[in-house]
């Protein structure tokens, strides 16, 4: 019976038989530093503990013989190991490897500014585009407040580090956009065609960019459209000083918009420096469709059609300088369809797209009639493959058909170019601290019958948790400007070589960035004008041309942004120093181009007042004078304007009601009324000069947007 | 007779052992749950999260350990100030959530947890994240409410989110307090399925409701 009792006892209290083992030791990182708070336990049991302040642990277990020890800690890769429990006390040390995160993994940043929600560490957020004073809710205008870009108030486009506007390429979802800016009058910089609300991310590269992009000597502005429309059904109505807009959206699928703008009423109120014959008037419509295909596929379609016209009175600087009319009428269409998908758990990725661009400008320049018509069809495919955490590969191809027709009075011509490109790129993480991206792009342009191959290389090294150094270098080619190709199809590709060194430090909500660069221009197109310089930007080049132009640009930028020192305040400071000279186009001598300024400073300040629903902002820009052509001067482009300065403010008010959403906004450009001039024009005999000035010294704008939705809007908008 | 006694004893022993295991699980969970409060120091909360993780590892058929682990990491994220660490904690919470969502896809508490995690993500950078996380938060709460209109945590989360939204943006006490009051009423009648089922939210709701009268 006693025996039985023993058996019962063992059966009833099984733990009596088990001798406990004590496990002690430490959990450390790869360098042997203790990790406090790590969870260490026997797999499949409750036995375990979190490590103490030194990463040490000690606990007992009833397991016998062998056990699987599991260690887990946030930010580190989990570890499992089988150990023998053959001693009363078992020693164990676990070394954990850090998981790849934004904080500990290097990112290649030389030359690039990104605005994105998806990546946690970016310098800009999409909202910045619409909340920056002096940015006018225009993506390129806000990019001009970043280091590397220049504010050139009298010429359209993005001017980057001594590069002309034509050296910047705008890309939407990987597809090149032929005419990203609206067509306007002489001496007035134009806005881009695209609403910032279309995009989820913006990447602005000031050099050294990926082999995915070509046909840009200076810069790439890459925009990515949103993956889905508004998360609601509804309509949005906008009124502003310049016009009205209407858009309707169907949950996550369709967004349809229409707009009509007429600046005439506003221009009647404001004091203009320009005599408007017909204030800018435009209208357009667009549609965006998104359709998920399968679990990971996404099909997107975007079509935008618009028309505009304006006319001014300007001084015809080639003739007798009497005031004469200038009219421009534009028709533009862009249609693009893209498809993207991934498979094999994201290891493979595919992005494809096709697009069609149409643009027609009809100009009336005094008595001369001119017209340009451009069409571009393109297809693009990119395949990506990741091989583990360390290596990824990208390869792709592009094919474009571009046609161009130009008529300028009795001059004119047309051309067709088949442009093709293939590219391959690999990104390798040698360690989490060192990444290298190497790529090669090959291009061919049928219009000049030439091909090129351009290598690209960039690398980054993480110096500590917050800082990193990046280096980028590469060769960049661009087909010469269309107007030159009409008279000379034997030209070669223009070329730029970039070298960029960058240091960036992002800690919490503070960013510091400094970058230095050298850009070497070769084979630029030069006109043989026998030393005669014609400053008319609309002239049709008829002289003989060759590729003997060259130049350089060098300098550095500093950027500081701080969102945390003051509550609800966000500010940034950017400064760029630029030294550049070039001999190109119809320049008779090497000179600093008219679109370059040596010093550029921007101060951007934003403050939120959540209790009142108000956002306010101010932007101050200061740039040293730019060169202008003075026929009386002995030095070509040797004269400089006075420095440019501009203080602008903005304010917006948001009111959210159930199913309604109201935004009121107002902005004032150049509130101090500084009389900036962008340059001067001289009569041919040099006796009289006229300043090139902005259309308005002071400019005011107000507007409202009302959103009506079927489902109630969550008030969470700007909470916490 | 002897045989019968042995059989009975064996049966008892097996039952006792199973029961002991069950009791051990419940006891371990109860101990841990008692420490999951907003006022608990972060280090202790971290320990508790570790405990839930260990239990989840051992009791793979149970969904509650993972549920509470996710909830505890969400709390840890709310208490943390460094944005990157807050996201890292929610990444961890999300690992547990994913498993819970597989085990209990139709449970309203799973949906409430999804809403809580979306709200915690949003709180890190509301200005830039609302476009993604507000719809997620809304959708998850909406689903939970449809599934079980009596779940007090649905109203507690909704009221809390309204409470911290400025009046200009459609929030404020005026709209939040009736919802918080509704949550309090639901809490009064709500009986968790067991001592270890989701039961959180009363304290915060009471605290916010306390601010309403002022």
CB of A114 closer than 8 Å to CB of A202 = yes
User: B170 vs A657: CB contact, 8 Å cut-off?
Assistant: yes
Out of A120, A125, A126, closest to residue B87 by CB: A120
- The answer on pLDDT for A221 being more than 80 is yes
Reduced to 3 states (helix: H, G, I; strand: E, B; else coil), residue A630 is: coil
Suggest the residue from A199, A709, A714, A718 to mutate for an interface test with chain B (most B CBs closer than 10 A): A714
Report the alpha-carbon distance of residue B105 to residue A369 in Å, rounded: 69
Where are the domains positioned within chain A? Answer: 2-95, 112-718
Report the alpha-carbon distance of residue A483 to residue B40 in Å, rounded: 72
Cα dihedral A462, A466, A472, A478 sign? positive
pLDDT > 90 fraction of chain A, expressed in percent and rounded: 56
Among chain B residues, CA nearest to A657 = B170
- The answer on pLDDT for B14 being more than 50 is yes
Spell out the residues 6+ positions from residue A124 whose beta carbon is closer than 8 angstroms to its own: A113, A114, A115, A146, A202
What does the pLDDT look like over B117-165, one tens digit per residue? 999 999 888 877 777 788 889 889 999 999 999 999 999 999 998 888 7
User: B137 vs A714: CB contact, 8 Å cut-off?
Assistant: yes
Q: Mean pLDDT across the stretch A182-207?
A: 87
Residue B101 — pLDDT band, cuts 50, 70, 90? Answer: very high
Chain B residues with beta carbon closer than 8 angstroms to that of A720: 122-123, 126, 164
What does the pLDDT look like over A183-193, one tens digit per residue? 988 888 899 99
CB of A605 closer than 8 Å to CB of A617 = yes
Q: The domain A112-718 is classified under which CATH number: 2.130.10.10, 2.40.170.20, 2.40.110.10, 2.60.40.1180?
A: 2.40.170.20
CB of A28 closer than 8 Å to CB of A37 = no
Residue A660 — pLDDT band, cuts 50, 70, 90? Answer: confident
- The answer on pLDDT for B17 being more than 80 is no
- The answer on pLDDT for B86 being more than 80 is yes
CB of A186 closer than 8 Å to CB of A99 = no
Q: Mean pLDDT across the stretch A521-540?
A: 87
Exposed/middle/buried for A544, CB within 10 Å: 0-12, 13-18, 19+? exposed
Residue A515 — pLDDT band, cuts 50, 70, 90? Answer: very high
CB of A281 closer than 8 Å to CB of A264 = yes
Spell out the residues 6+ positions from residue A533 whose beta carbon is closer than 8 angstroms to its own: A586, A587, A588, A629, A631, A636
Chain A residues with beta carbon closer than 8 angstroms to that of B84: 101-103, 120
Q: Mean pLDDT across the stretch A495-519?
A: 92
Minimal Cα–Cα distance from B123 to chain A, Å? Answer: 6
SS3 content of chain A, % helix, strand, coil (to 5): 5, 55, 35
Lowest-confidence range among A91-105, A516-530, B56-70, B91-105?
Answer: A91-105
What does the pLDDT look like over A593-621, one tens digit per residue? 999 999 999 999 999 887 788 999 999 99
- The answer on pLDDT for A361 being more than 50 is yes
Report the alpha-carbon distance of residue B97 to residue B89 in Å, rounded: 12
Reduced to 3 states (helix: H, G, I; strand: E, B; else coil), residue B69 is: helix
Minimal Cα–Cα distance from A300 to chain B, Å? Answer: 19
HEC assignment per residue over A72-84: ECCCECCEEEEEE
Q: Give Cα B82 to chain centroid, integer Å.
A: 22
What does the pLDDT look like over A547-569, one tens digit per residue? 999 999 999 999 999 988 998 89
Q: Mean pLDDT across the stretch A299-327?
A: 86
Q: Mean pLDDT across the stretch A347-364?
A: 96
User: A718 vs B134: CB contact, 8 Å cut-off?
Assistant: no
What does the pLDDT look like over A26-43, one tens digit per residue? 999 888 899 988 999 998
> Which pLDDT does position A346 carry in this prediction?
85
User: B127 vs A718: CB contact, 8 Å cut-off?
Assistant: yes
User: A12 vs B126: CB contact, 8 Å cut-off?
Assistant: no
User: A46 vs B58: CB contact, 8 Å cut-off?
Assistant: yes
What does the pLDDT look like over A618-642, one tens digit per residue? 999 999 999 999 988 899 999 999 9
Lowest-confidence range among A381-385, A403-407, B5-9?
Answer: B5-9
**Beta-bridge mates of residue A559:** A513, A574
CB of A74 closer than 8 Å to CB of B80 = no
- The answer on pLDDT for B49 being more than 90 is yes
Q: Rounded to the nearest 5 degrees, what angle is found at the Cα of A271, between the Cα atoms of A266 and A274?
A: 95
- The answer on pLDDT for A21 being more than 80 is yes
Report the alpha-carbon distance of residue B45 to residue B33 in Å, rounded: 10
What is the average pLDDT value for chain A, to the nearest integer?
Answer: 88
> Of residues A196 and A526, which shows the higher confidence score?
A526
Q: Give Cα A480 to chain centroid, integer Å.
A: 24
> Which pLDDT does position A118 carry in this prediction?
53
Out of A41, A43, A717, closest to residue B130 by CB: A717
CA distances to A195, A241, A248, A650, B35 from A245, in Å? 12, 12, 10, 21, 55
Minimal Cα–Cα distance from B58 to chain A, Å? Answer: 4
> Which pLDDT does position A318 carry in this prediction?
61
Among chain A residues, CA nearest to B127 = A718
What does the pLDDT look like over A669-717, one tens digit per residue? 999 999 999 999 887 777 888 899 999 999 999 999 888 877 654 443 3
> Which pLDDT does position A231 carry in this prediction?
64
Q: Mean pLDDT across the stretch A326-335?
A: 96
Report the alpha-carbon distance of residue A489 to residue A522 in Å, rounded: 18
Reduced to 3 states (helix: H, G, I; strand: E, B; else coil), residue A707 is: strand
What does the pLDDT look like over A229-281, one tens digit per residue? 666 688 889 999 889 999 888 877 888 999 999 999 999 899 899 899 999 99
Cα dihedral B79, B80, B83, B89 sign? negative
Report the alpha-carbon distance of residue A303 to residue A291 in Å, rounded: 15
> Which pLDDT does position A648 carry in this prediction?
96
Chain A residues with beta carbon closer than 8 angstroms to that of B138: 714, 716
- The answer on pLDDT for A88 being more than 70 is yes
Out of A44, A50, A654, closest to residue B169 by CB: A654
> Which pLDDT does position B76 carry in this prediction?
93
- The answer on pLDDT for A463 being more than 60 is yes
Residue A473 — pLDDT band, cuts 50, 70, 90? Answer: very high
Among chain A residues, CA nearest to B167 = A611
CB of A646 closer than 8 Å to CB of A152 = no
- The answer on pLDDT for B78 being more than 80 is yes
DSSP 8-class letter at A191: -
Out of A50, A125, A716, closest to residue B47 by CB: A50
User: A658 vs B57: CB contact, 8 Å cut-off?
Assistant: no
The token pair that represents A609 in the structure block: 């007042």
**Residue (of B179, B171, B82, B101) closest to B134 by Cα position:** B171
> Which pLDDT does position A174 carry in this prediction?
93
- The answer on pLDDT for A120 being more than 70 is no
Residue A102 — pLDDT band, cuts 50, 70, 90? Answer: low
- The answer on pLDDT for A182 being more than 60 is yes
Q: Mean pLDDT across the stretch A96-101?
A: 78
The token pair that represents A614 in the structure block: 């108000």
CB of A54 closer than 8 Å to CB of A27 = no
Task: Give the residue carrying structure tokens 């629903």.
Answer: A613
Out of A8, A713, A718, closest to residue B126 by CB: A718
Cα dihedral A395, A172, A158, A574 sign? negative
The token pair that represents A75 in the structure block: 């930010």
> Of residues A200 and A235, which shows the higher confidence score?
A235
Suggest the residue from A716, A717, A720 to mutate for an interface test with chain B (most B CBs closer than 10 A): A716
**Beta-bridge mates of residue A407:** A371, A412
pLDDT > 70 fraction of chain B, expressed in percent and rounded: 89
Fold of A2-95: Immunoglobulin-like (2.60.40)
Spell out the residues 6+ positions from residue A487 whose beta carbon is closer than 8 angstroms to its own: A413, A541, A542, A545
Suggest the residue from B169, B173, B174, B178 to mutate for an interface test with chain A (most A CBs closer than 10 A): B169
CB of A148 closer than 8 Å to CB of A580 = no
Minimal Cα–Cα distance from A2 to chain B, Å? Answer: 14
Chain B residues with beta carbon closer than 8 angstroms to that of A8: 9, 13
> Which pLDDT does position B212 carry in this prediction?
86
Report the alpha-carbon distance of residue A221 to residue A203 in Å, rounded: 6
Chain B residues with beta carbon closer than 8 angstroms to that of A201: none
Chain B residues with beta carbon closer than 8 angstroms to that of A610: 166, 168-169
Out of B82, B128, B168, closest to residue A117 by CB: B128
> Which pLDDT does position A15 carry in this prediction?
46
Instruction: Describe the crossing of helices B108-124 and B83-103 by its angle, rounded to 10 degrees.
Output: 170
> Which pLDDT does position A719 carry in this prediction?
30
> Which pLDDT does position A181 carry in this prediction?
94
Report the alpha-carbon distance of residue A186 to residue A189 in Å, rounded: 8
Task: Show the domains of chain B with their CATH numbers.
Answer: 2-212 (1.25.40.10)
User: B82 vs A508: CB contact, 8 Å cut-off?
Assistant: yes
Among chain B residues, CA nearest to A50 = B47
DSSP per-residue letters across B110-136: HHHHHHHHHHHHHHHSHHHHHHHHHHH
User: A610 vs B166: CB contact, 8 Å cut-off?
Assistant: yes
Q: Mean pLDDT across the stretch A136-152?
A: 89
User: A656 vs B123: CB contact, 8 Å cut-off?
Assistant: no
Q: Mean pLDDT across the stretch A179-208?
A: 87
> Which pLDDT does position A720 carry in this prediction?
27
DSSP 8-class letter at A585: B
- The answer on pLDDT for A14 being more than 50 is no
**Beta-carbon contacts below 8 Å between A and B:** 137
Out of B54, B83, B164, closest to residue A719 by CB: B164
Among chain B residues, CA nearest to A715 = B170
Out of A12, A508, A509, closest to residue B13 by CB: A12
pLDDT > 70 fraction of chain A, expressed in percent and rounded: 92
> Which pLDDT does position A661 carry in this prediction?
77
């Amino acid at each position: 019976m006693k025996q039985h009792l023993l058996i019962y006892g063992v059966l009833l209290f099984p733990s009596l038989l088990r001798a406990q083992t004590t496990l002690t030791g430490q959990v450390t990182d790869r360098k042997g530093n203790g990790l406090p708070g790590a969870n260490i336990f026997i797999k499949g049991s409750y036995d375990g503990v979190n490590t103490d302040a030194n990463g040490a642990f000690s606990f007992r277990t009833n397991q016998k013989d062998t056990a699987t020890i599991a260690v887990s800690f946030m930010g580190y890769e989990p570890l499992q190991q089988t150990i023998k429990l053959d001693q009363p006390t078992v020693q164990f040390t676990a070394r954990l490897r850090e998981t790849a995160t934004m904080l500990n993994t290097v990112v290649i940043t030389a030359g690039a500014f990104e605005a994105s929600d998806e990546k946690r560490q970016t310098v800009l957020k999409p909202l910045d585009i619409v909340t920056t004073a002096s940015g006018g809710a225009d993506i390129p205008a806000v990019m001009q407040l970043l280091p590397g870009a220049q504010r050139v108030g009298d010429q359209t486009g993005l001017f980057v580090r001594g590069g002309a506007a034509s050296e910047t390429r705008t890309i939407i979802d990987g597809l090149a956009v032929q005419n990203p800016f609206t067509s306007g009058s002489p001496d007035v910089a134009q806005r881009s065609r695209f609403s910032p609300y279309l995009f989820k991310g913006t990447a602005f590269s000031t050099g050294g960019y990926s082999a995915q992009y070509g046909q840009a000597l200076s810069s790439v502005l890459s925009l990515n459209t949103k993956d889905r429309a508004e998360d609601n059904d509804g309509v949005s109505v906008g009124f502003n000083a310049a016009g009205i807009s209407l858009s309707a959206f169907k949950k996550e699928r369709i967004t349809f918009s229409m707009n009509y703008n007429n600046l005439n009423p506003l221009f009647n109120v404001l004091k203009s420096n320009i005599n408007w014959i017909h204030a800018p008037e435009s209208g357009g419509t667009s549609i965006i469709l998104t359709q998920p295909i399968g679990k990971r596929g996404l099909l997107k379609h975007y079509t935008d059609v618009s028309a505009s016209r304006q006319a001014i009175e300007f001084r015809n600087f080639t003739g007798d300088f009497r005031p004469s009319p200038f009219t421009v009428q534009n028709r533009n269409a862009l249609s693009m369809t893209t498809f993207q998908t991934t498979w094999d758990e994201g290891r493979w990725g595919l992005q494809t797209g096709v697009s069609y661009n149409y643009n027609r400008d009809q100009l009336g320049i005094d008595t001369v009639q001119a017209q340009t018509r451009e069409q571009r069809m393109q297809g693009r495919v990119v395949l990506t493959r990741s091989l583990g955490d360390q290596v990824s590969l990208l390869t792709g191809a592009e094919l474009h058909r571009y046609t161009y027709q130009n008529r300028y009075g009795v001059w004119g011509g047309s051309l067709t170019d088949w442009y093709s490109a293939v590219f391959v790129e690999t990104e390798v993480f040698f360690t989490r601290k060192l990444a290298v991206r190497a790529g090669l792009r090959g291009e061919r342009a049928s219009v000049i019958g030439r091909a090129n191959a351009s290598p690209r290389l960039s690398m980054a090294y993480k110096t500590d948790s917050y800082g990193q150094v990046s280096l980028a270098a590469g060769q960049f080619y661009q087909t010469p400007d269309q107007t030159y190709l009409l008279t000379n199809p034997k030209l070669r590709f223009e070329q730029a070589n970039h070298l960029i060194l960058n240091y960036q430090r992002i800690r919490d909500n503070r960013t510091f960035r400094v970058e230095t660069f050298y850009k070497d221009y070769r084979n630029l197109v030069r006109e043989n004008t026998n030393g005669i310089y014609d400053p008319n930007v609309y002239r049709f080049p008829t002289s003989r041309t060759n590729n003997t132009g060259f130049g350089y640009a060098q300098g550095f930028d500093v950027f500081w942004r701080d969102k945390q020192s003051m509550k609800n305040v966000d500010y940034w400071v950017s400064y760029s120093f630029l030294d550049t000279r070039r001999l190109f186009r119809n320049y008779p001598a090497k000179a600093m181009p008219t679109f370059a300024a040596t010093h550029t400073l921007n101060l951007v300040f934003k403050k939120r007042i959540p209790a009142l629903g108000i956002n306010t902002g101010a932007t101050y820009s200061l740039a040293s004078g730019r060169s202008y052509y003075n026929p009386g001067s002995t030095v070509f482009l040797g004269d400089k304007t006075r420095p440019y300065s501009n203080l602008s403010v903005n304010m917006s008010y948001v009111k959210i009601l159930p199913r309604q959403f109201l935004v009121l906004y107002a902005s004032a450009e150049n509130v101090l009324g500084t009389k900036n001039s962008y340059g001067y024009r001289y009569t041919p005999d040099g006796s009289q000069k006229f300043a090139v000035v902005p259309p308005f010294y002071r400019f005011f704008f107000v507007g409202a947007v009302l959103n009506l939705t079927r489902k109630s809007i969550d008030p969470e908008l700007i909470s916490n | 007779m002897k045989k019968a006694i042995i059989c009975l004893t064996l049966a008892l022993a097996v039952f006792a052992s199973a029961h002991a295991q069950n009791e051990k699980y419940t006891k371990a969970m109860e101990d841990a749950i008692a420490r999951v409060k907003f006022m608990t120091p972060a280090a202790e909360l971290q320990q508790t999260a570790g405990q839930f993780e260990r239990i989840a590892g051992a009791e793979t058929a149970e969904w509650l350990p993972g549920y509470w682990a996710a909830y505890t990491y969400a709390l840890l994220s709310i208490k943390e100030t460094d944005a990157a660490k807050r996201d890292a904690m929610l990444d961890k919470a999300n690992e547990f959530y994913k498993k819970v969502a597989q085990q209990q896809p139709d449970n309203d508490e799973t949906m409430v947890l999804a809403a809580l995690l979306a709200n915690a993500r949003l709180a890190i950078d509301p200005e830039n994240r609302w476009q993604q996380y507000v719809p997620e938060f809304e959708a998850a709460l909406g689903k939970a409410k449809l599934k079980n209109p009596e779940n007090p945590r649905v109203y507690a989360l909704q009221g809390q989110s309204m409470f911290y939204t400025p009046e200009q943006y459609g929030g404020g006490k005026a709209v939040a307090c009736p919802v918080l009051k509704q949550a309090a009423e639901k809490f009064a009648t709500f009986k968790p399925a067991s001592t270890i089922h989701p039961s959180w939210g009363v304290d915060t709701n009471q605290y916010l409701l306390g601010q309403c009268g002022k």
